[in-house]
Amino acid sequence: MLTIDVRILAFKHPIFFMRISDIIALFEQYAPSVYQENYDNSGLQVGNPDDTISAALLTLDITEEVLDEAIANNCNLIIAHHPLIFSGIKRLTGNNYVQRIVQKAIKHDINLFAVHTNLDNMRHGVNDRIAAKLGLINTKILAPVNNSLLKLYTYAPSIDANKVREALFAAGAGRIGNYSECSFNTLGNGTFKPDKGAQPYIGSAGGTRIDEAEVKIEVLVPVHLQNKVLRALKANHPYEEVAYELVALQNENQEIGAGLIGMLDSPLSELDFLQLLKTNMKADCIRHTALRNKKIEKVALCGGSGNFLLNDAIRASADVFVSADFKYHQFFDAESRIIIADIGHYETEQFTVEIFDAILKKNNVTFAVLLSTLVTNPIKYF
């Protein structure tokens, strides 16, 4: 089951006449677009942020058939995992399905919105849904990202330190893995002399130097929350001039990164695991490397094309790596150290619509939400 920390979501109560911009803001808080890969193109691709939503259709891919499904159900918003447009469109002449969909979506006032690799890279995103289907426990990100965390240092009068801390926590600072409201606090003394023209919280303008008991507060801040946290700091700090420092960290971010790794509740034989994988992921076919005559207990996985994580899975001592889109020669890279189980791109990501649905329901949206009934997998098996 998808676990959503409602504290990071903005819409806790029904909002009547929700606009496209409201949905964009909601998904930005759950899967910030800053964490999408460089090649990606998530976000609103066709439409108007000010449009009011009548109904939304949730899908993995935007195809011409999906667009017709949206029209038939009076949906003016399609939320997809895969963007329709990855590169620039130089003309709209209907020469391919992308151009035809864009033309038809505009004609019928249908907004197209995608949440792709930014959702892949979230701790409770696409990979977490796969892990839930397989019953994995004690999961963590396989390849956490670096350079996405900041350390904030600030100083507050002792009597006001708790108010400042609470404001920082409410803005999203102080989270480490499964722990929230984490901070380190040091008692000390700060000095300052208010000049003429100042409006000091303590002392008087042009007066003597102040020596005040203060607390140095240290918290972690994800880069995408930097501005929000600083606004909260300045709005809740009593001083006219707020002293703070932001320092970039090399620490791995346990909440953001590629892939996931976890444990089966009980070890399974290789054949039993492959059967579980095929059944629970509704896969018609599994391409895999040679079996190793070893129980399967530690499972690494990545929705979509995950071959770039194979070495991470091996280093993590995973027994099997579940992903998709492996090429012939890439299967040799397993070198009998791990089983590669390629179940197909569509098969790994087909349950992403359940994440969209859970987010919208959690926030009590007032418009109709429909899950597409179409199978958009372009690959067929004979």
Residue 180's identity, in one-letter code, is S
Find the helix or strand (DSSP H, E) in which 172 lies.
none
* CATH, domain 6-120+351-371, list 3.40.1390.30, 3.40.50.150, 3.40.50.880, 3.90.1150.10: 3.40.1390.30
Contact 169, 175 (CB under 8 A): no
**Residues with Cβ within 8 Å of residue 115, at least 6 apart in sequence:** 27, 31, 42, 79, 80, 81, 356
pLDDT of 70 reads: 98
Domain 6-120+351-371 and domain 147-251 have a common topology: no
pLDDT of 239 reads: 96
pLDDT of 2 reads: 41
Q: Which two tokens stand for residue 139?
A: 């999961």
pLDDT of 366 reads: 86
pLDDT of 247 reads: 97
Give CATH for domain 147-251: 3.30.70.120
Q: Which residue has the tokens 């690494």?
A: 300
Q: 3-state class of 15 per DSSP?
A: coil
pLDDT of 212 reads: 94
Residue 22: Cβ within 10 Å count: 17
CATH class of 126-143+257-348: alpha beta
Which residue ranges in the chain fall short of pLDDT 70? 1-16
Longest dimension (CA), the chain: 86
What are the domain boundaries of the chain?
Answer: 6-120+351-371, 126-143+257-348, 147-251
Q: Tell me the sheet residues that pair with 59.
A: 80
- Mean pLDDT (the chain) is 93
Would you tell me the crossing angle of helices 270-280 and 126-134 to the nearest 10 degrees? 120
pLDDT of 16 reads: 55
